[in-house]
Structure 1
Amino acid sequence: MQRILIVEDDEDIALLERDYLEVSGFETQIATSGDDGLARALAGGFAAVLLDVMLPGMSGFDVLRRLRERSAVPVLLVTARSEDIDQIRGLGLGADDYVTKPFSPSVLVAKVKAAIATAERHGRDGAGTADREARRLLGADGLVVDTSSHEVWARGRLVELTNREYGLLVFLLSHKGTVFSRDALYERVWGLDAVGDSATVTVHVNRLREKVEKDPGHPAVIQTVRGAGYIVRDE
């Protein structure tokens, strides 16, 4: 049974999240502070982390920043703020997705399941069946991805990516020459209905460019087709 870590200082919300997840077949643990949540997350053994943004002491953003230094566990930010800046900031720090309060049980569980599925397909701890059967190298313009080891090299330098970033990069490299809209990428990589959430794709593309492009301002790998979406061109 997969375990989910809930980092939430509001007891009512934490218990509500626990009930939704346990009814769906997950085990849960609850941490009520950022320090406790970070320590438990770093100890490992969790399939995903639900992380509240507004925590006493260490904020959710600080927890996420420090967690990403040592772990690629899927993290979903839970925020009461609807402003895009919170969501974009969290995604920029390495969050896999976000849930805005108040949330519905179906949305919460669906997003947790999608984040875990993405990690299993593309993350460092799991690979797709085809990737297990044979080592496969993907590349473009000085970028090399080894799908057997999940290592990403940019011009001879090892690059650390989040699960979402890795999944997005592998998908685009595996479909060179095809333009994908934000909605299409959200549906194919995230595995959820993209309505209302596809803007997160832009954030991840920008983060990827910062990490893998020689000149992020003039990307050579992940290119924008104005009015259509993104493409890795077939050289």
Structure 2
Amino acid sequence: MQRILVVEDEPTIARAVADRLAAEGFAVEIAADGPSAVERARSYDPELIVLDVMLPGFDGLEVCRRVQAERPVPVLMLTARDDETDMLVGLGVGADDYITKPFSMRELAARVRAVLRRVERSAALPETMLRVGPLEIDHASRRVRRDGTEVHLTPTEFELLGCLARNRGTVLTRAVLLEQVWDWAGASGTRAVDTHVKALRRKLGSDLIRTVHGVGYSLEVRA
């Protein structure tokens, strides 16, 4: 059973989320504040974290930063407001997806499965090592190096880089990236794509991913 950690300080919501995910076949544990969430993520070693932004102790953004600093783990962020700033900041610190309260349990379960599928799909790729210019992308260990130095990427950042690398030199539209990386077929969440591209540029350098304005992005290595 895949393990999920639910981090939510509102007991009613936490129990409802945990019960639905347990009914979907997951093993679930709950944490109710920032410090206990970081400690539980360390000891429970979940495959995915459902993480509320507003928490006592310290908030979900800080939880995400601390957890991702130790190991890349998929994070589905819960936000109480339909606020683009919350979404962008959450994605910027390493969240893989976000959902706005109030949400349906059916949608939450679908988002959880979509995030986990992305990780499983990447692990199943036959090409274990991909080299593009100064980059080495190791799908077996899910590690990335630039010029021999390891770079820490979140699971979605890794998926996005892998998609661009496998199609290097080809401009991929945001819609294609949303479908192939996020499993959001027909979606219009272009901010999610743009924010993750910004994160990759910050970590890998600004010289590898080219923006084609009004179209999308391409991974290119200049001679």
Aligned residue type for 1:99: I
Matches within 5 A, 1:55-70: 55-70=55-70
Q: TM-score, normalised by structure 2?
A: 0.93
Question: 1:86, 1:150 → 2: CA distance?
Answer: 28
Match of 2:76 in 1: 76
Change (3 A) 1:105 1:28: same
Deviation at 1:234, TM superposition (A): 7.2
Do the aligned residues in 2 keep the contact of 1:6 with 1:30 (CA within 8 Å)? Answer: yes
Q: Where does structure 1 lack aligned partners over 5 or more consecutive residues?
A: none
Q: Secondary structure at the match of 2:5?
A: strand
Q: Measure, in 2, the Cα distance between the counterparts of 1:208 and 1:57.
A: 30
**What residue number does 1:154 align with?**
146
Aligned to 2:126: 130
> Which residue of 2 is the match for residue 177 of structure 1?
169
Residue type of the alignment partner of 2:17 = E
Report the RMSD for the aligned CA atoms in angstroms: 1.7
CA displacement, residues 11-68 of structure 1 (integer Å, 9 cap, x when unaligned) = 1111221222122221211111111111111114312111111111111111111111
Identical amino acids, percent of aligned pairs: 41
Q: CA deviation at 1:194?
A: 4.9
Q: Partners of 1:145 and 1:129 in 2: how far apart?
A: 12
**1:187, CA displacement in angstroms?**
0.6
Contact 2:88 2:191 in 1 (8 A): no
How far has the Cα of 1:103 moved from its partner? 0.7
Quick one: which amino acid aligns to residue 232 of structure 1?
Answer: L
Tell me how far 1:227 sits from its aligned partner. Answer: 1.1
Runs of 4+ in 1 over 4 A off after TM superposition: none
Q: Does 1:227 pair with 2:214?
A: yes
After TM superposition, the structure 1 = structure 2 runs for residues 7-18 of structure 1, keeping only pairs within 5 Å, are 7-18=7-18
2:219 partner amino acid: V
What is the TM-score of this pair, normalised by structure 1? 0.88
Q: Residue 6 of structure 2 contacts residue 51 of structure 2 at CA under 8 Å; is this kept in 1? A: yes
Report if the CA contact (8 A) 1:79-1:100 is conserved. Answer: yes
Residue in 2 that maps onto 1:98: 98
Which residue pairs with 2:156 in the alignment? 164
Question: Which residue pairs with 1:204 in the alignment?
Answer: 196
Q: Tell me the equivalent position of 1:139.
A: 132
**Contact 1:4 1:47 (8 Å CA) reproduced:** yes
> In the alignment, residue 155 of structure 1 is paired with which amino acid?
D
